[in-house]
Amino acid sequence: MANVAVIGAQWGDEGKGKIVDWLAARADHVVRFQGGHNAGHTLVVGNQTYKLSLLPSGIVRGTPSYIGNGVVLDPWALRDEIGRLGEQGVSVTPETLEIAETCPLILPIHRDLDALREDASGEGKIGTTRRGIGPAYEDKAGRRAIRVCDLAHLDDLGPQLDRLCAHHDALRAGFGEAPVDRARLLADLGEIADFVLAFAAPVWKSLNEARARGDRILFEGAQGVLLDVDHGTYPFVTSSNTIAGTAAGGSGLGPGAVGFVLGIVKAYTTRVGAGPFPTELDDAVGQRLGERGNEFGTVTGRKRRCGWFDAVLVRQSVAVSGVTGVALTKLDVLDGFDELRICTGYRLGDTEYDHLPPHPRDQAAVEPVYESIEGWSESTAGARSWAELPAPAIKYVRRIEELIGCPVALVSTSPERDDTILVRDPFAD
């Protein structure tokens, strides 16, 4: 049985939460391997809706879950999220959740810096969630981060705080802000330490032992490939690598452990925040997609920009992330359209592209080349087999497969976990 890595193959918000939750029933372990609480996953189980940001989606099922070393962890956001789940009847304990001892922490000073920078950026705003993700990753790379294991040694934190505050004090001064209140920061860390340390563990060791037993591991990514700091629409990206290759380094397993790579792809395209979007629709069609798809961010509540399916971008994501098969979500949102359009290429002046050029100016200027395909009037909502889909819907799915060069493994036809058509079992490969 293969392990499976689940990643978003667009700009995030593709419906990873439901797919991971659905796969978690077949997995023995679920691990988050990058990102922070800027990522939102929504799970709909019966009449209950669960909104997760930091916790792996498997936690709702009680599947042993892990936050890997590649994640940046806001301990206060974690406590709040665990508390909200508890109110919904989901108990999160050290028996169901382990947090890597080497996870860097997101601190209040990271949130402060994120907001200060965004407010001062003018037209250069990136559209961050202001949750401190980027500054926390910067401190990790700069070797001044405070990590989960440091919470057990707060009395020895002086030298690390010196490095951290020297950096942040200089930045804060540039914005006219007071230096870091070290006493307050230490008090805040002391207040949250015991809560976090109860979940701290050598996640790399737990996962390697699980692999040695032949257990099935589900790797859960956040955001999407097009937000990858190397392969995305830079600078309108997140601060971590979101491609499947990160699953190994962000969890403490070797690359051979990743196995099947499942790319989650929405049946159309959406994006939150600033940045290029070649197939964006600022018209009634875009409005209709947004309303029918309930396109509002799980974390921020921001309205998502909507457009036709962009096969060029997904084909690029499939290539750079080694996607084995895709899960196509929200097919039911397209019900009732007489005609659908798929972007098959770009045109920039007299030049045609079969990929997105790297420079932001060119990315913003490309014109999509479309092909039209017949829509369908019948409902696909709740379909659980190919036989329940209208012929034009199947044709649409098959055409997407051809254009992205990757087979469809799953089709999701509603937010409900069981409204899923299984074409190819990722865990059976």
C-alpha–C-alpha distance, residues 170 and 166, integer Å: 6
Q: How far is CA 153 from CA 74, 114, 175, 190, in A?
A: 18, 27, 32, 10
Q: Which residues are catalytic?
A: 13, 41
Pick the closest to residue 79 from 102, 105, 58 (CA basis). 105
C-alpha–C-alpha distance, residues 315 and 394, integer Å: 19
Structure tokens at 66: 């892990």
Structure tokens at 329: 């979500």
C-alpha–C-alpha distance, residues 162 and 167, integer Å: 9
The number of residues in the chain equals 429
C-alpha–C-alpha distance, residues 149 and 170, integer Å: 27
The answer to whether the beta carbons of residues 332 and 416 sit under 8 Å apart is: no
C-alpha–C-alpha distance, residues 382 and 402, integer Å: 25
For the chain, what percentages of helix, strand and coil (3-state, to nearest 5) are there? 40, 20, 40
Tell the burial category of 43 from Cβ atoms under 10 Å away from its Cβ (0-12, 13-18, 19+). buried
C-alpha–C-alpha distance, residues 284 and 330, integer Å: 19
C-alpha–C-alpha distance, residues 220 and 144, integer Å: 27
The secondary structure of 364-395 as a DSSP string is: HH-EEEEEEEE---S--TT--SGGGS-HHHHH
Residue type, 356: L
The answer to whether the beta carbons of residues 277 and 236 sit under 8 Å apart is: no
C-alpha–C-alpha distance, residues 402 and 90, integer Å: 41
Structure tokens at 135: 């500054």
